[in-house]
A and B are shown apart, each in its own frame.
Chain A
Amino acid sequence: MLTRPQALALVLRRLALLGRELGKPQLEQANEETRLFGEAAALDSIGLVTLMADLEEDVRAACGVSVHLADEKAMSRLTSPFRRVGLLADHLIDVVEKSTPPA
């Protein structure tokens, strides 16, 4: 089980690391409302896929489950879970919950 603050912390930590890697220091100051892609966004499509891949590795390390953040269902949602940091944190909780085997 992943709590909301934990999920948000995972996303923000990954964004900060990615920002250092990409030479985009503004990513270290990201918050709930930071746009991930689309207009005035911080990442291009490859950056976004990189962020997802790193988060999937983090979830595997933290929760012991293997998840996929992007699937056809997520892509079909009316409001994309990849538009803003807060939405991505919610999505992370959602996919972890669905993949955790019942106790």
Chain B
Amino acid sequence: MPPWLDSRLLGHADKPAIAGPWGVTTYADLRVLMNKATASLRQLALDRPTAFAIVGEHGPASAAWLLALCDAGHFVAPLAGSSAEHPPKLAQIHAQWIVSTRGHEWSLLPRVDEPSNHPLFERLRAQRHSGLVLFSSGTSGRPKAMVHDFVGLLAAYASRHENRLPVLALLGFDHIGGLHTLFGCLAAGSLLVVPSDRSPAAVATAMAQYRVAVLPASPTFLNLLVASGEYQRHDLSALRLISYGTEPMTENLLARAREAFPGVRFLQTFGTSETGIVRTESPDPASTFVRLEDSAMEWKVVADELWLRSPTQIVGYLGGDSARFTDDGWFRTGDKVESGPNGTLRVVGRFGEMINVGGEKLMPAEVEAIVLEVSGVVDCRVRGEPHALTGQTVAVDIVAAAGMELEALRASIRIKCREQLAAYKVPTRVTFVTSVSGDRLKKLRDLPRP
């Protein structure tokens, strides 16, 4: 861990650091946990930087292990959500150890695999820098592993000023946005509030209990919070700032949210797992146009697509596919943008096939691979469909075998997907058709099945 961060943690000592269903953990408690994690690491007597996965949600144990692994120069992948999706990710990083966390508890489990000799890991090893591995949906349905220089990524938070505004952790421990919230809180000495789950009721309860002042949210979540009426049932008067990002915001929803939270500032954020989060300004609070104002980040628009280049961007993909980076280091975000007045812009959607459900992204192929395994499915095609509640939703067209009972088949498809995929990837609309078009599935079927 960089010395500046350690001295901050030491300086914040008695202030609350992370609160959630387990209670309140102070910065001093967090350092104790971190030292315990460091001691456990020493007992393992590892003679070289090693790949770890932290399996769990936001909490003191997850944060302590993340920092201890960074400090010791290891490689770490935070994994949250559906455990059925973890095995291929663990295999990709050749994880040797799994830290399973819950609140301030953890258990350490060995995983048998050959250590990775990937050139990206070797490069970080030579620099004595820790690596942070994040996953996103790959085009072939295989998760894409992105490697960040963990020390370089943390350096971006060194300039944070101290503040006491409690922040809600809405995005997951495995999401660049969720980690951004965590690192921002640690650097500023503020409180990270973890809800018991991400339903509007649980989030509003936690916000009222800990007087949350900053809510980083997706437009879908704001939609749910307002439409469910939960914002009226709890005392959210401490709220001062709502930052929103991860998916396009409509002006209609922004107007409704501003009406529900008068006096609260709304700020659009923008970021990708590859480049980290960009600082932005919203010149007109009622408009969804923003100006990217980040001295550490370069940006330009090429054929309506936003390109970013930053010193904190990933060092590469473990899979080696770096087609979205140009030779001179620009990252093609895949976000389709529209230019507004005074150098502002807004995201209007995505190029290509990626589906964005409430800020969580997936590729059709990963769902198609599962659906095709369901008995009675002859062929299928997954696509994103616009939805007023979640931005987009997953729809699948199915060619069923003759004589199938369609209602039962629809249920089997969703049950199978629920077993194998994160909830947001499960098709909400299942339509039966006589044929599907496109040749993507032909390629998919040729891939070796795990």
* A interface residue numbers (CB < 8 A to B): 17, 20-22, 37-41, 44-46, 48-50, 52-54, 56-57, 68, 70-72, 74-76, 79-80, 82-83
Contacts and interface: CB of A to CB of B under 8 A. Distances in A.
B334 to A, nearest CB: 24
25 contacts: A21-B414, A38-B228, A38-B230, A40-B201, A44-B199, A45-B224, A45-B358, A46-B357, A46-B424, A49-B387, A49-B389, A52-B389, A53-B393, A53-B429, A54-B410, A70-B389, A72-B388, A75-B223, A75-B256, A75-B388, A75-B389, A76-B252, A76-B256, A80-B227, A83-B229
B156 interface: no
Label chain A's interface by main secondary structure: helix
Contacts of B220: 45
A50 B199 CA distance: 16
A101 to B, nearest CB: 22
A38 B200 contact: yes
A70 B411 contact: no
Nearest to A82: B227
A50 B390 CA distance: 11
* Residue picked from B227, B233, B250, B388, most chain A C-beta under 10 Å: B227
Given A38-B228, A50-B414, A75-B389, 12 more contacts: A21-B415, A38-B200, A45-B224, A45-B358, A46-B390, A46-B426, A52-B389, A52-B428, A70-B388, A72-B252, A75-B253, A80-B227
A57 B224 CA distance: 23
A74 B388 contact: yes
Contacts of A49: 387, 389-390, 393, 428
Nearest to B425: A46
A19 B200 CA distance: 21
Contacts of B429: 50, 53, 56-57
A39 B227 CA distance: 12
Contact of A45 (B390, B395, B411): B390
B109 interface: no
